[in-house]
């Protein structure tokens, strides 16, 4: 088993691969990315991840130079050649390499880089007992729906969470709680699940969509895509995060105040179990 990279369709050792100095991803963050989880040697929810990748490319006007089938093939190749069965595949496409001028270069070929790394299961204690989060101001731009490489606000927010000994920082823009630095955010109030609508102010997470479109329906849970504020969150019965790497993560403390007396609520637990069953069905059978 070994970590492995792929640059413009060719396998490379991680230690060998290099990024040209004038790659626009490197200099401007001019590109988009996706992360897909690998369970039991199979990609989970690869189609929606690739659909979102094409949407992100269209949004920042990078031409799609790889077909869906090619990208699936690259994911499968990385899994096969690395021997990694439990891991994550990172994919990014930048506008390409050109002398550093802000506007789009005339003749430029997008640059695809991918890598696979093993990832163990998330600390089972976190999933079992829940995590702490802090609320911070959302200082990002207004196109958070694009999965772009510009992650500086997210990086700073996650570091703030780490320094506060918290798992995640959830952001607040004006009167509304938007999402985590690398996750979507949900609260349960009077038995109803609430999450920020999929506008330009959040990333429409694949895990979020799975919760909305499949798990909540299957479990007959009521779910609302409606903005809510900090007082609403502080009065919530349950709270949880979702994300490809985060999966469904119960939140039991917000800004030092316990949620549900510090224990994981029943709706979050049901969703966690249903998500684990779905992974099992897609990747283990
Ligand atoms: C800002 C942000 N929101 C939400 C998510 C969750 O999205 P997904 O479920 O597609 O991983 C991510 C994932 O990286 C993210 O970076």
Q: Is 244 in the pocket of ligand 1 (CB under 6 A)?
A: yes
The rounded distance, in Å, linking the Cα atoms of 31 and 49 is: 16
**pLDDT for 77-117, tens place per residue?**
999 999 999 999 999 999 999 999 999 999 999 999 999 99
Q: Is 140 helix (H, G, I), strand (E, B) or coil?
A: coil
Q: What is the pLDDT of residues 209-240, one digit of tens each?
A: 999 999 999 999 999 999 999 999 999 999 99
Q: How far is the CA of 152 from the centre of ligand 1 (A)?
A: 15
Q: Which domains does the chain have, with CATH numbers?
A: 4-118 (3.30.470.10), 124-283 (3.20.10.10)
From CA 216, how far away is CA 224, in angstroms rounded? 11
Would the CB of 182 count as within 6 Å of ligand 1?
Answer: yes
Cα gap 44→39, rounded to integer Å: 7
Q: Is the shortest distance between the CB of 207 and ligand 1 below 6 Å?
A: yes
Q: Please state, in angstroms and rounded to a whole number, the distance separating the CA atoms of residues 31 and 150.
A: 8
Considering the entire predicted model, what is its pTM?
A: 0.97
Radius of gyration of the chain (CA): 19
Whose alpha carbon is nearest atom 14 of ligand 1?
A: 182
Cβ–Cβ < 8 Å for 215, 208: no
Annotated active-site positions, please? 147
Atom of ligand 1 nearest to the CA of 246: 11
């Amino acid at each position: 088993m070994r970590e492995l990279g792929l640059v413009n369709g060719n396998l490379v050792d991680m230690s060998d691969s290099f990024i040209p100095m004038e790659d626009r991803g490197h200099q401007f963050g001019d590109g988009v990315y996706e992360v897909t989880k690998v369970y039991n040697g199979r990609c989970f929810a690869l189609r929606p991840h690739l659909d979102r990748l094409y949407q992100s490319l269209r949004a920042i006007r990078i031409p799609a130079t790889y077909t869906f089938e090619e990208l699936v093939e690259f994911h499968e190749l990385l899994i096969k050649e690395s021997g990694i069965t439990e891991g994550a595949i990172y994919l990014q496409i930048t506008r390409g390499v050109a002398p550093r001028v802000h506007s789009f270069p005339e003749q430029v070929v997008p640059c695809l880089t991918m890598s696979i790394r093993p990832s163990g299961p998330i600390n089972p204690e976190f999933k079992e007992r829940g995590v702490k989060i802090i609320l911070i101001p959302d200082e990002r731009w207004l196109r958070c729906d694009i999965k772009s490489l510009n992650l500086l606000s997210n990086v700073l927010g996650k570091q703030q969470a780490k320094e506060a000994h918290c798992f995640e920082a959830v952001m607040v823009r004006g009167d509304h709680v938007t999402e985590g630095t690398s996750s979507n955010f949900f609260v349960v109030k009077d038995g109803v699940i609430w999450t920020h609508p999929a506008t330009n102010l959040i990333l429409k997470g694949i895990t979020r969509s799975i919760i909305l479109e499949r798990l909540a329906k299957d479990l007959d849970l009521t779910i609302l895509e409606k903005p809510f504020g900090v007082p609403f969150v502080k009065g919530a019965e349950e709270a949880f995060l979702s994300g490809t790497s985060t999966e469904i993560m119960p939140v039991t403390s917000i800004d030092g105040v316990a949620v549900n007396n510090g224990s994981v609520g029943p709706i979050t637990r049901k969703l966690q179990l249903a998500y684990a069953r779905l992974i099992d069905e897609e990747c283990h059978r």
